[in-house]
Structure 1
Amino acid sequence: MKVYGVVGYKNAGKTGLMERLVTEITGRGFTVSTLKHAHHTFDVDHPGKDSYRHRHAGAHQVLLSSRARWALMTELRDNDEVPLAQLLQQLDPVDLILVEGYKRDDHPKVEAYRAETNHPIIAKDDPTIRAVASDCALDVMQPVFDLNDTKAIADFILSEVGL
């Protein structure tokens, strides 16, 4: 499976770009899965729901299933965060896995950048960032695409991974 990332600071446009890339690339007939890193604690179920009650009772894993989808939740408790490489192994085979976040990992990435956030540009110091999707002109070594030119960014990613 091919892996490509989208990174950037908060409010840089990562999630919107991911959403548009999934639509564009699946529209071309490729299968795509996504993996999103969260920097905070999150819940996919809610207090009072059965699965929540199972987890809080101490279950290591809870699998929630219906006719429409299933989700497997694994409680880490006091264990370390699972590395990206191990998480990727949990996914079914597809043509491309798009990863949002994990900016310090070794896979190739596109950086989403918005001038209004006034954050530093990660690409200047990170050789794993192969291009920047921005809403302004930038002085970087990598190709710079318009943040909203999803087709061009998808073309670039697919070319990079050989699809």
Structure 2
Amino acid sequence: MNQRVFGITGWKNSGKTTLTERLVALFTAQGFRVATVKHAHHSFDIDRKGTDSFRHRQAGAVETAIVSANRWALMHQLRSEQEPPLSEILERLSPADLVLVEGYKNDSHAKIECRRAGARDRSPLLGTIANIVAIATEAPEAASAPPQFHIDDVEGIGAFILKFLHLNSDAR
């Protein structure tokens, strides 16, 4: 699948989720079809104990699909399998104009690094992980390489991403 992928990376509490959410809203308002991938470093569950689908998984189903008139979800139990690489997850997504990836900082896709004073760790990722092409921070430095944006300049960051990915919002 030839999807345009751009990452939002940074330490815990650096503003990744807020920036991702705001970029999705911006790009969607511009007419783009946007998909997201969020990498979790902890166990999570999107199903509650006692529901039918939870019971199906507990009984041993490898995959369980939940379908309604409003949405559907497919849950895959890894059991003894390894966590799939980002490339495999991207292959499973429906076609989209662009995919925003939160996390997966060690993968090779282009990324913007989020930096905030309230982050758990404030050491720069630039220079330690591949393909950071911009920085979103509370105190951007002018004429820096890579370019820096104020973390709240969603329009500026969005325009940078569209240009970087060769996407034209005027064509929408």
TM-score, structure 2 normalization: 0.91
Shift of 1:125: 2.8
- Of 116, 131, 136, which residue of structure 2 is paired with 1:128? 131
Aligned mates of 2:34, 2:17 — CA distance in 1:
15
Shift of 1:138: 5.3
> In the alignment, residue 134 of structure 1 is paired with which amino acid?
T
Aligned mates of 1:2, 1:153 — CA distance in 2:
16
Partner of 2:151: 147
SS in 2 for 1:155: helix
Please give the root-mean-square deviation of Cα atoms over the aligned residues, in Å: 1.4
Aligned mates of 2:79, 2:118 — CA distance in 1:
38
Partner of 1:107: 109
> In the alignment, residue 139 of structure 2 is paired with which amino acid?
C
Shift of 1:26: 1.1
SS in 1 for 2:134: strand
Partner of 1:69: 71
Partner of 1:37: 39
Partner of 1:51: 53
TM-score, structure 1 normalization: 0.96
Aligned mates of 1:22, 1:67 — CA distance in 2:
23
Partner of 2:18: 16
Partner of 1:5: 7
Aligned residues: 163
- Of 151, 156, 162, which residue of structure 1 is paired with 2:160? 156
Shift of 1:122: 0.5
Shift of 1:127: 4.0
SS in 2 for 1:30: coil
Shift of 1:124: 3.2
